[in-house]
Chains A and B, each alone.
Chain A
Amino acid sequence: MKFLYAAYTATWIIHISYLAFVLRRYIRLRNKIQELNQK
């Protein structure tokens, strides 16, 4: 049933989106730390 697959796929898309959000923040933060260390 395509609703079944849609539900499971949607679940993981939601989780991965949040993980991407966290990762992007982490990368930005790490760059900022490097910047501060160089000063």
Chain B
Amino acid sequence: MLRRAFPILGVLTAALLSYGLYEALIGAPIEQSMGEVQRIFYYHAPSAWTAFLLFTVNFVASVVYLIRRSIKADILALVTAEVGVVFCTVVLVTGPLWARPVWGIWWTWDIRLTSTLVLWLIYVSYLMLRRFSSSGQTPLMAAVLAVFGALDVPLVYFSIWFFRTQHPQPVIGGGGSIDPKMLQVALINWAAFLCFAGLVSWSRYRLELLQREVEETEALEALLDSGGAP
């Protein structure tokens, strides 16, 4: 059943993405002060929201793993971390590309961008841990690290917030109210990204599940082979 749903969802996602792209580049109104460049917002912000959602799922999955030692929770944690880092990278690349033409500088210690950078660093270190640790304890270590990372997030936010009040710098993306039509376009793209992230995560999940089964089979084979021969 699930397997048949995949192509349909794929088409739906592609349609949503195309619609979102059209609205972002053409449909949405031009922003007064920044001009066309502001349209980067329609990819920058929804990517950030998607990344945060994925990282939240990672946290929940990690906690579930710590309590129940469920393999599925572990795989879900791995997958959401990877896809989350991908979306986070998009945020960190589009942010400076937006800032440079508007404010003349590539980087400011903008609270959202900086928090995203720290989050990206924490999750890349999470992925490094997964890659370098020996497979028996990997899920446990990774889950613990994810909990530490999640605990860190509010502290990161507050520390950067106060740093900025002492060293005022430009804010990327502006504060204040947003035009309803612009918000609508952002939300359309968010929905598209969520579907996209869902599909990619699902594929990655199934791949990982399959990979682990194959590794188990290989290990079993090796055992049997070595036991059989005299």
Contacts and interface: CB of A to CB of B under 8 A. Distances in A.
- A, B assembled together: yes
A7 B207 contact: no
- By secondary structure, the A interface counts as helix
B35 A14 contact: no
A14 B200 contact: no
B65 interface: no
Given A29-B210, A36-B217, A18 B86 contact: yes
A39 B98 CA distance: 55
Given A1-B36, A11-B93, A18-B86, A29 B211 contact: yes
Nearest to A26: B207
B36 to A, nearest CB: 5
Contact of A4 (B40, B83, B211): B40
B90 interface: yes
Interface residues of B, number: 32
B207 A22 contact: yes
Interface in A3-39: 3-4, 6-8, 10-11, 14-15, 18-19, 22, 25-26, 29, 32-33, 36, 39
B226 to A, nearest CB: 15
Nearest to B100: A3
Given A1-B35, A6-B97, A7-B94, A14 B89 contact: yes
A33 B214 CA distance: 7
Contacts, number: 66
A14 B214 contact: no
- By secondary structure, the B interface counts as helix
Chain A, interface size category, equals 20 to 34
A36 B100 contact: no
Contact of A22 (B90, B200, B214): B200
Interface of B: 21, 25, 35-37, 39-40, 43-44, 47, 82-83, 86, 89-90, 93-94, 97-98, 100-101, 196, 200, 203-204, 207, 210-211, 214, 217-218, 221
Given A8-B40, A32-B214, A36-B214, 14 more contacts: A3-B100, A7-B44, A7-B93, A7-B94, A7-B97, A7-B98, A8-B25, A10-B93, A11-B47, A15-B86, A15-B200, A22-B203, A29-B214, A39-B221
